Structure 1
Amino acid sequence: MKIVAVLYPGPAEQHVDHSGLDVLGSTEGALGLREQLESEGHEYVVLSDRDEALREHLPDADVFITTPFWPTYLSGDDLRRAPRLKLVLTAGVGSDHVDSDTAAELGITVAEVTGSNVVSVAEHAVMQLLTLVRNYIPAYQQVVDGRWDIADIAARSHDIEDKTVGIIGMGQIGQRIALRLKGFDVRMLYNTRHRRSSTEEAVFGARFKHLDDLVAQSDAIVLSCPLTSETKGMFGEERLRSMRPGAWLVNIARGQIVDTDALVRVLEDGHLGGYAGDVWYPQPAPADHPWRSMPGHALTPHVSGTSLEAQQRYAAGVQDSVRRFLAGEPLQDDYVVA
């Protein structure tokens, strides 16, 4: 069997970490699979060059492993060029970079490690929300620049208590975001495809609202919904401008849910208080991506779901899935996307 994994490059420098946890999601860590697979006589190719992977290794691969953080975009044409391919596995959560419809048509299983990153992403979302509300990035930049202008920072720094936070998408991540925000004494609204029970709403401390009402009533909005035909471009210019003046938007879902150029315009003219997020399109984002230089942002390069603890979880899920595949056993049901 030939197993191909396209992972982000290993750390350029040696880092000291006292947790004892390894960086398993990089080419160097190789998801902890190398010793097992090579000892069993399988060919295991691990690389970071996505073009090389598609050009030279996909056509004769039996298993192809990718990640949401360093995704290999697999189109229908790509999949049709891989007659041996039986499994596409995402080391993490979110397989929208794979043409799942074509995969199903060709008998290729698409799977991901469900739940492996939910804690990490939820914590990241709350961190980025607080970063915006407290105007943290400009304050940090003052320290770097040797400045000390308190009034400049305080003019856009707020308490989050008593604010209204809207959460769009109340899956495993959205639920954890809500639970973590309860301690801040915020008013929480949510919108999701399937409304939760009254008991669940009481536990989360959130009330269901139709999307337009949630947008109009929220001081801050967190996007934690999947990328679908319905959510792609959901926050275009009209919806962005329907948000409250000075409101904050956090996107830990997918970059394509927010219109790239419209967001830049809305931030440049000062309608929104700021934008934070961890997701881009495409990924990795090119050096000239307009979000890098727009005002009022607190963006990160899709690292939310790949903390050292999350890496242990999604590497373990990949190891289990590969073992099951090689043994001819079914994958865990909740891992299967298509």
Structure 2
Amino acid sequence: MAKIVCVLYPDPIDGFPPEYARDTIPVLNSYPGGQTLPTPSSLDFRPGDLVGCVSGELGLRKFLEERGHTLVVTSDKEGPDSIFDRELADADVVISQPFWPAYLTAERIARAPKLKLALTAGIGSDHVDLDAAIARDITVAEETYSNSISVAEHAVMQILALVRNYLPSHQWAAQGGWNIADCVSHAYDIEGMDVGVIAAGRIGQAVLRRLAPFDVRLHYTDKRRLSPELEQELGLTFHPDARSLARAVDVVSIHAPLHPETRNLFNEELIGSMRRGSYIVNTARAQIVDRDAVVAALESGQLAGYAGDVWYPQPPAADHPWRTMPYNGMTPHVSGTTLSAQARYAAGTREILEAWLDGKPIRDEYLIVDGGKLAGAGAVAYTASQDAGNS
């Protein structure tokens, strides 16, 4: 029998379950491009319920305990005395989320001799040391596409909020003011701007498609150039690297995974090469940008705004400078954990667990590491020094 340790974010402060704003969520038949949605044998939750928090348990307890497995669910994940660290010693499976990551460092992996599966409930497995997982032959998997469109919608929302100066304008109204000049002195139309996407995978392409009707000039960079047909359809300008793109646009939206090639990509030098008054939206990973360089650029006016929902570490300290820097539109890491997205990634988590527990293959598109090397989606999105064939 297996022991599954599941690290999820805390319950709502007013208690669980919350009162839901809607009774149902839309039913999807497939993801863009035709990939099928998760196909678990059944679900023990109602789609649209809050299952991503501790009491929600991703809807897994009944399923696992009926099979005789042990499920431990906690939000306590930091430090050697945390519940996560105590339970990790004899865990077979660790489930974590990008929004509340249980950082599976090489040191933690070394203290977990039974660990065989690191499962991300959502998309993004950089909180797992992939080199250590490869060396230990630990399978790493995630629910590819489960919340890609959720993140794309969030990114577009934040782009518009920054350019239109929405948040300060709302704050004037909420505080009883009518300060039109104060609001519009930092507000512009996005129409006619140059907007660029760093990495045009599932999320990046979704952002490009959603921005095309705004009559902007669209740019992108990616290791793999898109088809000429898609470039023509969306009017895309391809750039060979991030430096070329950053100099040519007014807005940058970042959608690359975090790996050695992207860590601190947007540093002081690169941000300084952008047009004065540019905007950056980062819903990918916080360490793709230099934290202090962003703060300095906002204070100097080199950047007109910065938004996103990714921080490092997560959750960030109360005095993290991104909480108070000027013209920021930061949110907690929520873009990919809407109630709609939770229904998909919870179902995908169960599908992966069912396959692994039954000794059946996990879907290739869910795999990040398998058989001691990068695999599936991971072979496309990540680099790892232990995996010579994909480094």
CA-CA distance at 1:271 after TM superposition: 1.4
Post-superposition offset of 1:77? 1.5
Q: Is the 8 A contact 2:286 2:311 kept in 1?
A: yes
Report what 1:45 is aligned to.
Answer: 72
Question: Equivalences for 1:157-168 in 2 at 5 Å?
Answer: 157-168=187-198
- The within-5 A match list for 1:86-125 is 86-125=116-155
Structure 1 residue aligned with 2:379: none
TM-score (norm 2): 0.85
Residue identity matched to 1:19? D
1:203 Cα deviation (Å)? Answer: 3.2
Aligned to 2:28: none
- Which residue number corresponds to residue 5 of structure 1? 6
* One-letter amino acid of the counterpart of residue 183, structure 2: I
Q: 2:336 aligns with which of 291, 305, 326?
A: 305
Q: Distance in 2 between matches of 1:16 and 1:90?
A: 25
Give the aligned residue type for 1:7. Answer: L
Deviations 1:281-306 (A, max 9, x none): 11111111011010010011110000
The one-letter code of the counterpart of 1:333 is D
- Once the two structures are superposed, residues 87-121 of structure 1 have per-residue CA deviations (whole angstroms, 9 ceiling, x without a partner) of 00000000001011111111110111111111100
- Contact 2:5-2:84 at 8 Å conserved across structures: no
Give, as a single letter, the amino acid of the residue that structure 2 aligns with 1:69.
F
Query: Which is worse superposed, 223-232 or 7-16?
Result: 7-16
Deviations 1:176-202 (A, max 9, x none): 000000110100010111111211212
Query: Which of 185, 189, 193 is the matching residue for 2:219?
Result: 189
Counterpart Cα distance in 2 of 1:76 and 1:214:
35
How far the C-alpha of 1:23 sits from its partner, in A, is: 0.7
Distance 2:235 2:65 in 1: 50
Q: Which residue of 1 aligns with 2:373?
A: none
Match runs of 1:235-314 below 5 Å: 235-314=266-345
Q: How many residues align?
A: 338
Q: How far apart are the structure 2 equivalents of 1:301 and 1:312?
A: 20
Out of 82, 88, 102, the position equivalent to 1:72 is 102
Q: Which amino acid is the alignment partner of residue 322 of structure 2?
A: W
Cα distance change of structure 1 residues 88 and 53 upon mapping to structure 2, 3 Å threshold: farther
* Structure 2 portions without partners, runs of 5+: 25-47, 370-391
**Which stretches of structure 1, 4 residues or longer, exceed 4 Å deviation after superposition?**
none
Indicate the residue corresponding to 1:16 in structure 2. Answer: 20
SS at structure 1 position matched to 2:368: coil
Confirm whether residue 202 of structure 1 aligns to residue 232 of structure 2. Answer: yes
Q: Tell me if structure 1 keeps the 8 A contact 2:123–2:145.
A: yes
In the TM superposition, what whole-angstrom CA distance separates every residue of 1:216-261 from its partner, at most 9, and x where no partner exists?
1101111111111011000001111111111111111100011011
Q: Which residues of structure 1 form unaligned runs of 5+? A: none
Q: Please give the alpha-carbon distance, in whole angstroms, between the structure 2 residues aligned to 1:300 and 1:206.
A: 29
Q: In structure 2, what residue type is equivalent to 1:18?
A: R
Greater fraction of residues in helix = 1
The answer to whether the 8 Å contact 2:74/2:84 transfers is no
Give the SS at the match of 2:188: coil
- 1:114-193 correspondence to structure 2 within 5 Å: 114-193=144-223
Distance in 2 of aligned mates of 1:125 and 1:299: 11
Contact 1:232–1:256, Cα closer than 8 Å, also in 2:
yes
Task: Give the Cα–Cα distance (whole angstroms) in 2 for the partners of residues 265 and 15 of structure 1.
Answer: 41
Asked whether the equivalents of residues 98 and 123 of structure 2 are also in contact (C-alpha less than 8 Å), the reply is yes
Offset, 1:41: 1.3
> Counterpart amino acid of 2:70?
E
Distance 1:163 1:53 in 2: 49
CA contact (8 A) 1:164 1:218 kept: yes
1:230 equivalent in alignment to 2:261:
yes
SS across alignment from 1:89: strand
Q: What CA distance in whole angstroms lies between the structure 1 residues aligned with 2:201 and 2:22?
A: 33
Preserved contact between residue 195 and residue 251 of structure 2 (Cα < 8 Å): yes
Q: How many Å apart are 1:143 and its aligned residue?
A: 1.3
Whether the 8 Å contact between 1:189 and 1:207 is mirrored in structure 2 is yes
8 Å contact from structure 2 (residues 195, 250) kept in 1: yes
| Matches of 2:160 and 2:107, distance apart in 1 | 43
Which residue, out of 340, 346, 351, partners 1:315? 346
**Is 2:7–2:84's contact at 8 Å kept on the other side of the alignment?**
no
CA shift for structure 1 position 54: 3.5
Shift of 1:154: 1.1
Matches of 1:239 and 1:306, distance apart in 2: 31
The Cα of 1:55 is off from its aligned counterpart by 2.2
